[in-house]
């Protein structure tokens, strides 16, 4: 790791100020950033640690509205009793990220700011129609995820929370890479008052995306059997040593069916 200057932010406003130092980066759980720094893939001059900020912690549920602080760990999301009642699919998703030690440190804000094309949370936020709240504005998930490791975040902008309306039904199913625990393909489906949404992670060449064909089939009949005839095209899908684009295309249909079955269970 190259030399770095560490700052512990005292508030979000302080973090925004500290971020102006050199080539500073925000540090939350550090489960991606620290390994990237160790291999020198990332070499920020300064780190601004926001992981201990109380104002970024915790899950709030008020009626159907769920708000999760950006520095809430995957463990805390996966075990939150209020969330397990309001949107169990999201708590379940958090329990599938990494391993237990990683879930104790990694945070939802860090995960979505990184926007790894195989990360789990982006699929959930897109399918839930979530809003990403920053220290400057609110951004719809639809506009937030821009491509591989790309987001709508501007220089110096800090995610403070994500918020969404809990849907009537939702589920996430993931075909997990057993070594990295990232999704080879993950599908999050929701059925709410705005209809059916299905978001796919791990597969798209441009990162997370909504599958119009799955949504169209499920809008008519929210049942796994509605996807029996579904043929997903491999166009625009990733292929690598873990799975070819064709294999991922097939997995999308399989994971979508499993997700719908789980949402209806």
Partner 1 sequence: MSDVSLTVNGKRVSGSTEDRTLLVHFLREHLGLTGTHVGCDTSQCGACVVHVDGRAVKSCTMLAVQASGSTIVTIEGLANGAELHPVQAAFKEHHGLQCGFCTPGMIMAATDMIAHHPEGLDEATVRAELDGNICRCTGYHNIVKAILAASQAMSKGSKGRAKQAA
Tally of CA atoms within 13 A in the half-sphere of 144 that contains its CB: 29
Residue 242 beta carbon to partner 1: minimum distance, rounded to whole angstroms: 16
Q: Does 172 bind partner 1 (CB under 8 A)?
A: no
Among 4, 219, 234, 254, binds partner 1 (CB under 8 A): 4
Q: Which is nearer to partner 1, 102 or 261 (CB)?
A: 102
Q: Does 10 bind partner 1 (CB under 8 A)?
A: no
Among 35, 147, 195, 236, binds partner 1 (CB under 8 A): 35
Tokens of 61: 């549920």
Residue 265 beta carbon to partner 1: minimum distance, rounded to whole angstroms: 19
Q: Which of residues 11-30 bind partner 1 (CB under 8 A)?
A: 27, 30
SS3 142: helix
Q: Which of residues 43-62 bind partner 1 (CB under 8 A)?
A: 47, 49, 51
Q: Which of residues 66-95 bind partner 1 (CB under 8 A)?
A: 75
Among 84, 104, 205, 224, binds partner 1 (CB under 8 A): 104
Residue 255 beta carbon to partner 1: minimum distance, rounded to whole angstroms: 20
Q: Are 119 and 106 in contact (CB under 8 A)?
A: no
Among 14, 17, 21, 34, binds partner 1 (CB under 8 A): 34
Residue 94 beta carbon to partner 1: minimum distance, rounded to whole angstroms: 14
Residues that bind partner 1 (rule: CB under 8 A) add up to a total of 27
Q: Does 146 bind partner 1 (CB under 8 A)?
A: no
Q: Does 242 bind partner 1 (CB under 8 A)?
A: no
Find the distance separating the first CA and the last CA of the chain, reported in whole Å: 47
Q: Which is nearer to partner 1, 48 or 130 (CB)?
A: 48
Compute the distance between CA of residue 218 and CA of residue 177 in angstroms, rounded to an integer: 27
Q: Does 36 bind partner 1 (CB under 8 A)?
A: no
Q: DSSP states of 147-184 as a string? A: ETTEESPPTT--EEEEEEEPPSEEEEEEEE-TTT--EE
CB contact set of 228 (below 8 Å; sequence gap of 6+): none
- Identify the burial level of 135 via C-beta atoms within 10 angstroms of its C-beta, where 0-12 means exposed, 13-18 middle and 19 or more buried: middle
Tokens of 90: 């999201």
Among 31, 113, 237, 252, binds partner 1 (CB under 8 A): 31
Compute the distance between CA of residue 118 and CA of residue 98 in angstroms, rounded to an integer: 12
């Amino acid at each position: 790791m190259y030399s770095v200057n560490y700052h512990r932010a005292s508030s979000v406003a302080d973090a925004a100020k500290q971020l102006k130092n050199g080539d500073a980066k925000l540090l939350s759980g550090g489960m991606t950033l620290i390994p990237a720094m160790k291999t020198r893939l990332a070499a920020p001059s300064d780190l601004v640690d926001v992981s201990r900020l109380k104002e970024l912690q915790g899950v709030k549920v008020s009626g159907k509205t769920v708000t999760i602080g950006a520095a809430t760990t995957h463990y805390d999301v996966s075990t939150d009793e209020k969330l397990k009642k309001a949107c169990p699919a999201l708590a379940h998703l958090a329990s599938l990220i990494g391993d237990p030690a990683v879930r104790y440190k990694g945070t939802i804000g860090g995960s979505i700011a990184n926007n790894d094309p195989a990360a789990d949370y982006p699929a959930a936020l897109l399918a839930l129609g979530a809003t990403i709240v920053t220290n400057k504005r609110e951004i719809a998930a639809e506009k937030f995820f821009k491509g591989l490791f790309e987001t709508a975040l501007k220089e110096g902008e800090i995610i403070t929370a994500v918020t969404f309306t809990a849907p009537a039904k939702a589920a996430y199913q993931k075909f997990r890479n057993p070594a990295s625990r990232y999704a080879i393909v993950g599908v999050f489906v929701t059925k709410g008052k705005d209809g059916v949404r299905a978001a796919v992670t791990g597969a798209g060449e441009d990162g997370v995306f909504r599958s119009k064909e799955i949504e169209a089939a499920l809008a008519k009949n929210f049942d796994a059997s509605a996807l029996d005839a579904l043929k997903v095209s491999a166009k625009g899908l990733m292929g690598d040593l873990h799975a070819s684009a064709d294999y991922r295309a097939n997995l999308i249909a399989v994971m979508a069916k499993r997700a719908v079955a789980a949402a209806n269970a």
